[in-house]
Amino acid sequence: MSDSIRKVNVIGHLNPDTDSICAAISYAYLKNQIDQSTVYEARRAGAVNRETGYALAHFGFDEPRLITSVRPQLKDLSLTEQAGINAETSLFVAWSLMREEGMSTLAITDEKRTLQGVIAVQDIANANMDILDRSSLGEACTPYVNLLDTLQGTMVVGDPKGCISSGQVCVGTSPKAMANVVKTGDTVLVTNRFKSQSFALEQGASCLIVCCEADVTEPIKKLAMERGAVIITTPYDTYAAARLISMALPVRAKMLDAGKAETFSLNTSVEEAQKAMARTGHRFFPVSDEEGHYFSLVGSGDMVNPKKKNVILVDHAEVSQMVDGMEEAEILEVVDHHRVGTLETPGPIFYRLQPVGCTCTIIYEMFQENGIEIPANIAGLMMSAILSDTLCFRSPTCTPRDVYVGKELAKICGEDPDIYSDAMFDAGADLEGRTADEVFNSDFKIFSRGNVSFGVGQGSYMTENSRKAGEELLAPYFETAAKLKDVPMIFYMFTDIKSQTTEMLYWGNGAERLCARAFNAEAKDGMAVLPGVVSRKKQVIPAMMNTLARFEVEE
């Protein structure tokens, strides 16, 4: 996607219900038809429940991709893809690249762009300063091509594709001085003295480096070939060559292995990366792409002013129901049918709030206003959302507009609302193989009034047996859920769709008092029966908020 095209995430609330998911998909489709210069993608803020899964599968949709945070990520920085260096690259070449690129760190990768390690300028400096380490070239099996590049050398005898496989590095001044120094397999730096050159070869030197570009006689060449030795000439004098030769080491010998290095992915949050950087003394860190391949290096200077993620919220405007990091995102629009929530934005945004039973009812009207035809599969999702939120037109939140829109969408997708809703609700109530955590979070929201916070969940059931099974599964889980959600009170609506009655189960200090006062009902042993109460949005939350307000006055 080019820089001129923005991406906008269309997101519903945490613990998404059918309206939240279907509204995100439908509105993203509508926005993509209206605005061809921007990519709108539906995302989900949690696991899809079975009711929603039924609707998605029935109309041929995959689940939207999960999004857990909208904080800026490394992918939102202006990073450009960089190539890594080969593990056989010499320290000298790596150091030259660092100078040219103004970098203090390089990534080492293989031909598949898999990260193998990183090397910093400090690693190269340490290798260069370790003058007593004479065996590293052999231990690292240093390629001869590295010697040729580092010393600007010429291969006189030998195969440039070979490598130093053993021995130490010595300086050969005279036969007498070399007698007790040069051993088999050593690399020896010599000048133009014939006796020194021949003695080093006779002592078993595997590589002869002739300094000052001195001539190598034919007898010396013949002796080297007979003994399987290599001869390289270099324009550097003995001192310079001795200083430079350690820089021929392959970077793999001094790199920090990938398994020990601090690495990030493009999906790592900027905040997380900054904290990790602060814990180490390094300046640059490798970043992998979403397939795990090396992408680039990132430094603290790259973290300045990251691009904010662009977001459209559907079916919610409560901060407690939003994905993490929304305060760091750019909220462009809100399309909702709930009360005005706790959302604050730095400037004006498009905010469409209508008192209807379902967000998809509003989105239907936006399709009509923009003259966009609704495909059958999108119509099916929108109908599913309306039937879910209005309990197939039985909920007191259901408006005549919801009924009209739901039936119009049913015509487009070719479904009978009554038959389809029974199947959808049955799928949602099926508890086989499900955990208490999964069922509890299938439709649970957190609310607050003043300093008091509480959570309200809801499950809709077509039969008494399925409702009772749900209650038995969830009631023992309330205390655990309260701790995980960090709320002092838990309420859960077990709603019988056909009788339009809710059995409200509750847990927590003060929950019984709130439930009894809010609904003028007998609350006992963790339950209150609420005839005619089926809507969390219209009947439960307003009653609880008003009661909490009265508590504040009384206290």
Measured between alpha carbons, how far apart are the two ends of the chain, in Å? 58
pLDDT at 555: 63
pLDDT at 342: 79
> Under 8 Å CB-to-CB from 50, ≥6 apart: which residues?
427, 428, 430, 434, 442
pLDDT at 462: 82
Pairing relationship of beta strands 284-288 and 207-210 according to DSSP bridges: unpaired
- Given CATH 3.40.50.10490, say whether it is the number of domain 6-71+309-427: no
pLDDT at 5: 55
Which of helix, strand or coil describes residue 303? helix
pLDDT at 45: 95
Which of helix, strand or coil describes residue 500? coil
pLDDT at 3: 47
pLDDT at 300: 80
pLDDT at 416: 97
Domain with CATH 3.10.310.20 in the chain: 436-554
Report pTM.
0.68
Minimal CA–CA distance to 72: which of 296, 327, 349? 327
Domain with CATH 3.90.1640.10 in the chain: 6-71+309-427
Domain with CATH 3.40.1390.20 in the chain: 141-248
Domain with CATH 3.10.580.10 in the chain: 76-127+253-303
Inter-CA distances, 167 with 185, 358, 511, Å: 5, 79, 80
Superfamily for 436-554? Answer: DHHA2 domain (3.10.310.20)
| CATH code of the domain occupying 76-127+253-303 | 3.10.580.10
Give, in words, the CATH class of 141-248.
alpha beta
pLDDT along the chain (555 residues), means of 10: 69 95 98 95 94 97 95 88 93 93 90 93 85 85 95 94 92 86 92 92 94 93 94 95 93 92 90 86 85 90 85 93 92 93 86 96 98 98 97 92 98 96 90 90 90 93 88 96 96 92 96 96 95 92 94 75
Query: 97-104 long-range contacts, Cβ below 8 Å, gap at least 24?
Result: 98/124, 103/284, 103/297, 104/283, 104/284
pLDDT at 424: 94
Distance of alpha carbon 239 from alpha carbon 130, whole angstroms? 15
Cβ contact 315:337 at 8 Å? yes
